[in-house]
Structure formats: structure tokens, C-alpha cells
Structure 1
Amino acid sequence: MWCVPHPKKREHTLVLLDTEGLGDVEKGDNQNDSWIFALAILLSSTFVYNSMGTINQQAMDQLQHPFRAAWRTWAKRPPGLQSLKYLRFGPYRRKFANPYIRQMPFYLPPGTSQKDKNFNLPRLCIRKFFPKKKCFIFDRPTQRKKLGQLEDLGDDELDSEFVQQAAEFCSYIFLNSKTKTLSGGIKVTGPRLETLVLTFVNTISSGDLPCMENAVLALAEIENSAAVQKAIAHYEQQMAEKLQLPTETLQELLDLHRDVEKEAIDIFMKNSFKDEENVFQKELATKLDKKRDEFCDQNVKASSERCSALIKEIFSPLEEGVKQGLYSKSGGYRLYVEKKEELKIKYLETPRKGLQAEEILQEYLKSKESVGEAILQTDQTLSEKEKQIEVERVRAEAAQAAAKMLEEMQIRNQQIMEQKEKSYQEHVRQLAEKMEKDRAQMLEEQERTMALKLQEQARLIQEGFQEENRRLHNEIQNLQKKMKKSKKECFLS
């Protein structure tokens, strides 16, 4: 395997997989060739087959065993190759001017015997799984006596015709070979290639047949899990950077949560695929809800800590006066109340206290009720009736404050419920967009496959292969049903 930067496409890597020749006696038996061949097909977007001399029956026979294994491997779903390139090296340069002659190696002679089926198997595989084929013809690269030193020769020591032919071949590959794409338009990246290789090799080692569909599902599980983590990491980072605790209101935090959550969902959508039954998206939604609640808890805690510190700082003169007995005298209660109200106003006017401002204040005032009542009872300037009226006023004020806090709590709960609904709608919106995009892509793939199958059906009819034609006709009908369903399908209302 060689990995080199693609000379024509930015942010692409050209990965070259070399099977090192099929039928090599030093490598193993036919089964070994079959698995190497199957792996090369499963992992590639373009398959290059070279042979010495013409592409004759011997070349087809050499593919017999690999194609038997490949046929079983691909029985359920084709591997998704876009093209097959044939190289022919030979001592003589030959050009096929007639397109029909170029297709001769893939012609299917009529016959239904086992011998005929064996003869046609590699041809059927090539025609079925490689709809695009191109033949390149090369002269001998150098003089016969220098062939043993071929790897050490420079371009100037090679035959000029060969160099030109090689340049044309490379140019064609660079410009026409597509990015390796799995079913559903999933482009294969480096990490995805690694996962596919490990999955296929482990499957073969265990004695099972490698299956692209199963490999894609395994790949999807790995990548979807990583997509959830990536989205959560982005959410945590952005919230930590942009959220200034404590917030003045809950809505301030929820607005930021909504914006960052939207970004996180978008990241998940771009990095996930084949999320069957939206399992991983539901996991993301659950984790985002949990993270939102955690930030809400942090907000409450930060507000409580700040308000407690402010209370201690702002009301310290009042407490110091109580300790010094400034209010334990005639008319002292009025002075105590005036000072307390003055400090309450100062506290309430201090910014960035957060959600716990009223609750922490009321907790403090409640803790000092006994102090105020003691000062009230010792004030000789007030009558018993006036003292009773003052006690009732303080109680009413406390009850009013409690009712206000309850109302604020109900408002916050309502805001949380509204935010949950908005979060759900955002998940639905982005999922609908992704599913519509996937549906359009799937329909495009189906239409492309349909066109190729119709071409092949026409050829089979022309060549008189009724059995293969019936099989292909059934495939076309099934594909037409899928396309009809895809066009009518409405994923979300």
C-alpha cells in the first residue's frame, strides 16, 4: 500500500493497493488470491488489471477463483466500484479501432452447461460490477536485456513511447478516478479506510465472508459515536467561552444554549451517517439536555455564591450596629428598619447578581427576623398596638416575597419547557434536511444504477441470454419500486 498526495485534487490522498500478482506460487493457493482480490475490490474505487499480451482466455481463467469468492462476497450488494482499467503489456503495439473488438473479452458465448457457466462467470462479474471499462496498451518499457533493472532506470532510459503511454494512463487516473464512496454517498477518509481494512481482515480471519454492508454499519457505529463526542465537546467549549456566570436572567443562558446547541447538532449531522432509528441523535439530545441542566446548576450556584458574598458585604454595617447596641434604645426600631431598607436598595441595585438574588435576600431577612422582633419589643416609643401592626406588616411582606419567588420559579420552569420544545424542533429540522439530502443522493444513485442495468439488459437480450436477462429484469423491477418509494417518501411532517 502506498499513500501519496493526489497531484490534481486538493485534500485528497491517492492510495495504491498492489495485489502483487494473482496466481503467484510463492504467495499461497487460490483461496489466498481470492481474498486478496476481494479486499482490493472492496477497498478501491478503480481496479487496474494488467496482463502480458492480449486479454485472452488465459487472463479470464486466472480470474476464475477470485471471482468465485468475490461473487459470494458481493451476493447481496455490489462493492461500489466506479471503473475498471485494463492494462495490456506486450511486445507489439496494437490499437483497437473498433469498439466492438475492445469488448470481445467480455462477450458471453451462449450455452447453459456448467462448462459454459464457468467460462462466462468472470465475464459476468466484470460486466455486472464494472460498468465502466477502459483499455490501455503499453509498449515494452525498455530493451529486453534491461528489463531486470527496470526499477533502477530513469525516465530517459525508458522507451519514449512507453513513457508517453504511461503519462496518458496516469493522467486518466488522476482526472477520472473518483473518490472512494460507500453506499449513501459516504466518502472514505483515512480513519474510515483503516476501519474497513480491519473489519474485512478480521472477518476473513474468522472464516466468514466480508460484507460491505456489515462493514459500513460497523463503521457507522464508530463514527456516529465519535460524532456525538465531537458535538458535545464543541458545545462544552463554546458555552465555557461565551457564558459569563452568573447570568442576569435564565433566558440569557437559554438563548446562548440554543445557538450553541444548533451548532452542535450541525456538527453531528455532518459527521454521522446511517444512524438507524436515530439512536445516536437521541443520545446527543439527551447529553445536550444534561449539559444544559449542568450549566443551569452552575449558574444557580454562581449566583448563590455572589449574592451571599454581597449580603455579607452590604449588610455588615447593619449587623455591626446591632452588636454595638445602636438600635437597642427608644426609637431604635425605626432606625433599624430605615437602615435595613437602605441596604436592601443598595443590594437590589447591584448588577450581575443572577437568579438567586431574591431568594438569598429573603433567606437573610428571615434569618434576622428574631433580631428585628427583639429590637421592636424593646422600643419604648411604640405602643403594643403599633408593635402588633408592625409584626403583621413584616409577615405580609415576607409572604409577598415568597409569592414573588414562586411566580419567578414557575416562569423559569415554563422557559425550560419552551426551550426543550425548541431543542426538539431544531433536531427535527436538521434531521429533515439531512434525510432529504440523503434521499436525493440515494435517488441519484438508483437512477445511475438503473441506467447501467438497462444498458446491460439490452446487451443480454441482444446476445440471447434469457436466464441472465430474467434475473436482471427482476433486479430492474425491484430497483424501480425502490425509486418510486424514494420519490414519494416523506420522512417528517
Structure 2
Amino acid sequence: MMSGPVCLIESDENGKFHVNKEAKDILDGINEPVVVVSVVGLYRTGKSYLMNRLAGQQSGFALGNTIESKTKGIWMWCITHPSKTGQTLVLLDTEGLGDIDKGDSKNDSWIFCLAVLLSSTLVYNSTGTIDNDAVQKLHYITELAERIKIKSPSSPSEEDDVAGEEDYNFVCFFPSFVWCVRDFTLELEIAGKQVTEDEYLDFALTLKHGRSKTISDYNLPRECIRSYFPSQKCFVFLSPASVENMKFLENLEKQDLEPAFLEATGRFCEYIFAESAVKTLKGGHQITGKMFGDLAQIYVDTISSGQVPCLEDAVVALANLENQAAVEEALKVYKSGMEEVKKKFPVNVTDVTQEHQSVSSLATSEFIKRSFKDDNQEYLKKLEENIGQYYVNLLGENEKASDKKCKELLKDLFFEMSERLKNGEYSKCGGYEVYCSDRDAIIEQYHSEPNKGIRAEAVLNEFMNERGPEANAILYTDEKLTKKEREVQEEREKKTLMEQKFKEEEEKRIESELMMEAEKKRQEDIIKQMEEKLNKEMEQRRKEMERALESKLREQEELLKKGFKEKSELLAHEIVKLQEEESSFGGVVGKFLCNIVDIVPNLLTGKGFKWR
């Protein structure tokens, strides 16, 4: 999709971050779900090389061959996912942490924070071994609770909420964590026993017993890694080449690289491709490239304004953008779909209602597919109101087209008779009988004409009412008729007009019934589609909570094994909280469905439409 990386987020001379327009434009064109993998770590640790390998390229992200950091800000490379159809892999290479030329640790903290917020998998790159010094250099993790909030300050909180209590929620929304150790020279051995890379990481993150400040400082980053990220994975890499060849790493062929390094790199790429999930929002909603670009913009704008990014607020802001776009896109689908029937105007009401029912279902489906977190159905209401108004306007256009066609048809059919009237051919003895015969023949011919539309009987009724005085005048000038016969014919004229009026009313009644039946089916269709969407969201939310609970239960088991009973009990409290949130979701679902059932009929049975 891209021949090479572009800068996604850059900082100006004042240290403020900005989203690069070129990158945003690229993301705006990606409408499929994205898997976002970012790499962070100290500068000059080989981060960019790993990203290039994930892109399937030897070069791309700048490697550099000096002590100077090459990557500034956050760079992005979007490629078609190598193994998952219908997904885009977004690779983010971040500015090296701890660059002495910057002299601003806040920049590093926000770079790390943005990488966490934007990723579905976070790769941390370091060199040497995972010793205490390596863990302490990852102090940015301990600052996440201060730099990222889960819930909006405006959200109602329980009385017993305390600062930091929401930290346990991070595991629901944070990316998977992969630690890559470069230039690893030790044996994977603990106490004389061979261990796996993951066991090595687990050993490095083992907590110490005690309550002193030294032990607390030692444990804090380890606790954060274990607590915040739902899974932890480790890969160790030997040096890729000799010291003299390292500066030419970007140009080295496979045969020039160490086989063990190539093997580890292959396993790393396979793992990322297979296990990295689509980026989701709080609530489990998968995001597209377009949404990812908007999300990056929201977070960058928040940080630049001096505020702390909030996952809940970001979801709301993104939902508003996406839902408004969903309304516009769905309305476009509806208008485009109704163009075909519009070209055929005038048509019968059945043709309009059937097309309306079919096309509006497609439009609603388009809206539901793209929208999310429309909890009060604000945007669904907006869509239905817009569709309703457009539908009413279409009905009006169809009526006008029918009205015009019927009037022109009657004018053409009555042209010869009108000429005979002007010439006084009916103003003589026996003229009324001839007049009625001519008029009835024309009405019969009018009825036989096809495709007159929904105003056929109404226009005929108006026309006959306009002709009423004319018929009575001829009736009373016909010398052939007796007074009694005139009275009989006069009653006949009234009866004919009444019958025509009845036909018009019947036409309106049928039209209204057909419309109401169509709208009833639309109600059922909307409710069905919303239920299906909700069930899908429930499943996403269930998986999100299961992943979080699994992580917490796994950590609790480890703590118990290693004798951290007090910490295990605290973790048990977090597990209970997560379980309560999971069970409470059912109530939210029920309320949502009730809202749908209440709102949809109100929208479609009068408030959105003005029946004739």
C-alpha cells in the first residue's frame, strides 16, 4: 500500500506534537480494520530494523550507523497484512527514548504514551540482558497511570472510588507487550536449568518480598508490566553480524547475517503476524485506518492542549466523528438507491414504498456497520429523520409528476370535446345525452391509460367538479328533457361526483395503508439489525473482558506461587471489579434494546412523516 514509511506524528520547535497531513490522508483511504504494531525503546537499539523486517523489506525505516538517533517523532508504514485477508498492518517506528540531544524527558514520556494508546501490540526493544537496569530504564511504564485516564472526569463515579483505582482497567484496553532483547550473549539458563525466552522474561519480572522504598522501587515497573498489559512475550536475538559489518546492516544479504539471528527474526515476525489483533477501542469496537487517523489526531490534540488523554473521551469524540460520517454515508446510499424509482415518476405508491423499504434497509445496514457507541440512538434518529424527510419530498415529487401527467392527459382527451362545447354542439335538444356519452367515453379512456401515478383519481375528481357547472348548464338547456328527467339526471350527476370522491378517498386510504405497512416492516428490520449489531458488540466486549480476566487470574496464580499473599488479595479485588463490570453489561444491553424498541416506532409512525 505504501512504498515506504512517512512521518505520522512530529513535534515542532516548541515541543508540541502534530499529525502529518500526508500520513492522515493515507489513513483516510483505508476502510478496512488495522492491526497496529509499534516499537519503542532507547535510541540506537535497532528498533527500525525489526520494523523493516515486519514490512518484508531490507530497508525503509531509517537505521543509521552512528550514535545519532535517526527516527524523530513516530513514523508509519501501512502494508497489506501478510496473513490475514481484509486487514491492514500499520507499523509504527518511534523516536528513540533517552536521546541526549533532545534534553526533554517529557517528549519521551509522551512518545511512549502515544505508542501505547495507538497500538494493538507494543514491542519494547533493548540490548544486552533484562536486568534491573534494563527494567528501570522502562520507567515510562510507571508514568502511564498519570498520563492516561480510562474514565472521563465527567463520568459519574462511585462513592468509594479513589485515585488510581481504575488502573486495573488498563489491562482491558492496553496492547499486548513484546520484549525484544538484542545482542543477547548469555545462555537461557536459570539455576542450571534451560528455560524458554518467556520464562526468562517472567524470571526478570519476578517481584521481591519486603516493604522498603528500595524494594518498592524495584517492584513498581515489574508490577506495571504485569498488571497493565494483557500478555507478555519475549524474544532474544544474538548479534546479527560482526562489529565491522553492523554499520552496513541495511545492505547486508541474508548470507551475511548470523543464522541464529535470522531464525529469531523469523519467529518474531511469525508471532506478530499471527497473534497481533486488530486495534480496538474501549468497548471492543474494531477500528479502520480512517478511524485510526482520527484517533491519532484526537490524542495529539489532547496532549498539545496540556490535558491528559482519556480513553473514554477519545471513544466519544471518535464515535461522534464516525457516527456523523455514518449518517452521511447511509443517506447517500438511500438517495442513490431511490434515484432509479425517481426517474420513473410518476409511479404507483406500491412502487415507491417497496423501493423505499428495500433501499432504506440498505442505508440502515450501512449506518449500523460503521456507527458505534450511539447509546441514545442520537445518530440513528438523525438518519431516520433525514431519510423520512427525503422520502416525504420524494412522495411530493411523485404526486406533482402524477398531477401534471393526469392533468395533461385529461386536457388532451377533452380537447375535441372542448371544441364541440365552444361550437355549441351540446346546447340543443338531446345535447345532454350526447355530452354524457362523450364524457363517459373519455373517462373510460382516461382510466385505461397506464402509469398515471397516485393522483389519478384525485385529479379526475377535481376535473369533474370543475366540469359540474358545465354539465348542469347543458342539462337545463336541453329542451328534449322534462322537468322530472332533469331532476333525475341532476341526481345522477351528484351521484357520479360522490362516487368519484369516494374513489379518491379510497386511493388515499390504500396509499396510506401501504405506506404504514412498509414502515412497520422497516421498524422490524431496524430493530433486527440493531439487535444483531448489539450481539456482535456483546461478543467483542465479552472477549475483551475474558482477555483481561485471564491476564489477572494468571498473575494472581503467579503471585500465590511466589508467596505474595497480600498482593494476591489486592488482585482478587480487581478481578471482582472486572467480573462486576462484565455482569453489569447485560443491564446496559437490555436498556439499549428497550430504547431501540421505544424510539424506532416514534420515528416511523408519524414524527418523521406527514401522511397525505
TM-score relative to the length of structure 1: 0.93
Q: Could you tell me which residue of structure 1 aligns to residue 414 of structure 2?
A: 315
Shift of 1:109: 0.8
Alignment of 1:322-333 (within 5 A): 322-333=421-432
d(CA) in 2 for partners of 1:440, 1:64: 35
Residue 91 to residue 140, structure 1, CA distance change in 2 (3 Å): same
Deviations 1:266-319 (A, max 9, x none): 221111111121111122222222222222212211111110111111111111
Q: Could you tell me which residue of structure 1 aligns to residue 338 of structure 2?
A: 239
Which letter does structure 1 place at the counterpart of 2:476?
Q
Residue 91 to residue 259, structure 1, CA distance change in 2 (3 Å): closer
Aligned residues of 2:188 and 2:200 also touching (Cα < 8 A): no
- More helix by percentage: 1
Q: What do you get for the CA RMSD once the two structures are aligned? A: 2.3
Residue 66 to residue 490, structure 1, CA distance change in 2 (3 Å): closer
Q: Are 1:105 and 2:204 an aligned pair? A: yes
Matched-pair identity in % = 37
Q: Could you tell me which residue of structure 1 aligns to residue 542 of structure 2?
A: 443
Match of 1:94 among 187, 196, 205: 187
Q: Are 1:457 and 2:532 an aligned pair? A: no
Residue 462 to residue 35, structure 1, CA distance change in 2 (3 Å): same
Q: Are 1:117 and 2:210 an aligned pair? A: no
Residue 450 to residue 161, structure 1, CA distance change in 2 (3 Å): closer
Greater mean deviation of Cα atoms: 261-270 or 167-176: 167-176
Deviations 1:87-121 (A, max 9, x none): 11226253353254441221111222333332222
d(CA) in 2 for partners of 1:94, 1:210: 42
SS at 1:49 equivalent = strand
Which letter does structure 1 place at the counterpart of 2:347?
T
Question: What is the number of residues matched between the two proteins?
Answer: 492
Aligned residues of 1:71 and 1:125 also touching (Cα < 8 A): no
SS at 1:187 equivalent = coil
Residue 433 to residue 7, structure 1, CA distance change in 2 (3 Å): closer
Residue 447 to residue 65, structure 1, CA distance change in 2 (3 Å): closer
Match of 1:195 among 290, 294, 300: 294
Q: Are 1:67 and 2:142 an aligned pair? A: yes
Q: Could you tell me which residue of structure 2 aligns to residue 337 of structure 1?
A: 436
Q: Could you tell me which residue of structure 1 aligns to residue 177 of structure 2?
A: 84
Which letter does structure 1 place at the counterpart of 2:78?
C
Which letter does structure 2 place at the counterpart of 1:98?
V
Higher RCO (Cα < 8 Å, 6 or more apart): 2
d(CA) in 1 for partners of 2:332, 2:497: 44
Q: Could you tell me which residue of structure 1 aligns to residue 96 of structure 2?
A: 21
d(CA) in 1 for partners of 2:536, 2:180: 38
Shift of 1:407: 3.7
Largest Rg, 1 or 2: 1
Residue 245 to residue 408, structure 1, CA distance change in 2 (3 Å): same
Shift of 1:242: 4.1
Greater mean deviation of Cα atoms: 91-100 or 296-305: 91-100
Alignment of 1:165-244 (within 5 A): 165-242=264-341, 244=344
d(CA) in 1 for partners of 2:558, 2:264: 31
Aligned residues of 1:31 and 1:66 also touching (Cα < 8 A): no
Q: Are 1:404 and 2:503 an aligned pair? A: yes
Aligned residues of 1:95 and 1:137 also touching (Cα < 8 A): no
SS at 1:48 equivalent = strand
Shift of 1:487: 5.6
d(CA) in 2 for partners of 1:366, 1:23: 91
SS at 1:3 equivalent = strand
SS at 1:135 equivalent = strand
Deviations 1:437-488 (A, max 9, x none): 2223322322232222111112223334455333322221122223334467
Q: Are 1:267 and 2:267 an aligned pair? A: no
d(CA) in 2 for partners of 1:462, 1:159: 39
Q: Could you tell me which residue of structure 1 aligns to residue 481 of structure 2?
A: 382
Q: Are 1:56 and 2:136 an aligned pair? A: no
Q: Which runs of 5+ in 2 are unaligned?
A: 1-75, 150-163, 595-612
Residue 3 to residue 67, structure 1, CA distance change in 2 (3 Å): farther
Shift of 1:19: 2.0
Shift of 1:350: 0.7
Aligned residues of 2:360 and 2:387 also touching (Cα < 8 A): yes
Shift of 1:82: 4.5
